Amino acid sequence: MGATASTPPAVRTEQIVQASRRKYWKRKRVFDFAASLLLLALSAPLLLLLAVLICLDDPRGGPIFRQTRLGLGGRRFTMYKFRTMAVDAEQQRAELAALNEMDGPVFKIRDDPRVTRIGKFLRRSSLDELPQLFNVLRGDMSIIGPRPPLPCEAAEYTDYQSLRLIVKPGLTCLWQVRTDRNAVSFAEWVEDDMEYILNASLWGDVKLMLKTPFVMLRGEGC
């Protein structure tokens, strides 16, 4: 993404804030609603199949994982995902903190021992994210936008990183479609989000939405 080292922080921040006030962000809701409705209709058989497979693989819990995330302006909402981990995964997180492979306020382990067998496939293909189409339909999220953080992650943000929250979070984003996303630092991830906010357009959203399935098919998720 574009280099920003020569741009004074105050100027950069003002540019991002001004970009987030464009009329585009209000008009985007029509695109999000129509796209999520269409995608849910097309993927309904797949959603049902995956739900059944998750329950068969680990019958101790349901197929949907609910988690509190932060949306526009830091507002809390319940985000949906297909469950890819053991039912007590959240309780195990503290024990695995030393294995975190990401810098900054993000927790990711490539070979996370909490992940179930079907969960590994869902994560590689990013199919675990599909239930978030319901979040888009409800208006909690957009199809394209910065990924929604956990409250504990956002609590560690700098003022600049908090600018990720001045637009609605998305199902997919520039970071999500990067082939090297598992090697990207959190600082680079944030810059991807800032570049999106600065240059967002309906055509850009369409291109990112069409690119995402090809990344999913390559199985480069984590």
Residue 220 has pLDDT above 70, yes or no: no
- pLDDT at residue number 1: 46
Report d(CA 47, CA 127) in Å as an integer. 9
- 35: which 2 tokens? 């796209």
Q: For residue 156, give the 3-state DSSP assignment.
A: coil
Q: What is the pLDDT of residues 138-177, one digit of tens each?
A: 999 999 999 999 999 999 999 999 999 999 999 999 988 8
CB neighbours of 60 closer than 8 A, spacing ≥ 6? 86, 87
B/e letters for 111-122, b = 16+ CB within 10 Å, e = fewer, are ebebbbebbebb
Q: What is the pLDDT of residues 18-49, one digit of tens each?
A: 999 898 998 899 999 999 999 999 999 999 99
Report d(CA 90, CA 36) in Å as an integer. 29
Report d(CA 90, CA 64) in Å as an integer. 14
Residue 133's alpha-carbon distances to 81, 127, 157, 172, 203, in angstroms, are 10, 11, 27, 11, 20
H or E segment to which residue 152 belongs? helix 151-154
